[in-house]
Amino acid sequence: MVPRKGPRRRKGKLQPLGNILQKVHPAPDQMQMARVFGWWVRALPERIVRRARPVALRHGTLVVHCETSTWAQELSFQSTDFLARIRAFAPEAGVTTLRFRVGPLPEITTLRRRKKREPPEVAITELPADLGRALAGVADDELRQRIAAAATTSLTHPPRK
């Protein structure tokens, strides 16, 4: 008899399907919690999301951890507005109160990365001669580039009728 190569199969107990599904699919209350957490990240300004994040939803209370006590206090002043917006977005979540505490912030991989839009580089020689000469007299480099970019955009797109 040839010895078997490769991994051996483990023999284990049969598990109820419900137990297995809970490991891979969240329960309905967890779905509401995830929806509220997602709202927090998408709807609030990035400066708030970087310093305060929801960590739990228990019995209608959304617990939010903040970087500092100053942030916790500042956000507690805005809690009425936040609560109204959360209720409008996810009424089925049943959020009735917000509690802000100082605590560790969970990692969020979906933080919006707002990049400063730079105007495209436009060579003045690509513009009509009279516009290029007029732009050459603009002393501020950034302003000159922005005007050139705007002019190039308006030249490439015909006016709407």
Average confidence (pLDDT) over 40-63 = 89
CATH top-level class for 25-102? alpha beta
Whole-angstrom distance, CA of residue 39 vs CA of residue 97: 16
* Domain boundary assignment for the chain: 25-102, 124-156
Looking at residue 153, its pLDDT comes to 64
Residue 129's pLDDT band, with cuts at 50, 70 and 90, is confident
Percent residues over pLDDT 90 in the chain: 23
Percent residues over pLDDT 70 in the chain: 70
Residue 25's pLDDT band, with cuts at 50, 70 and 90, is low
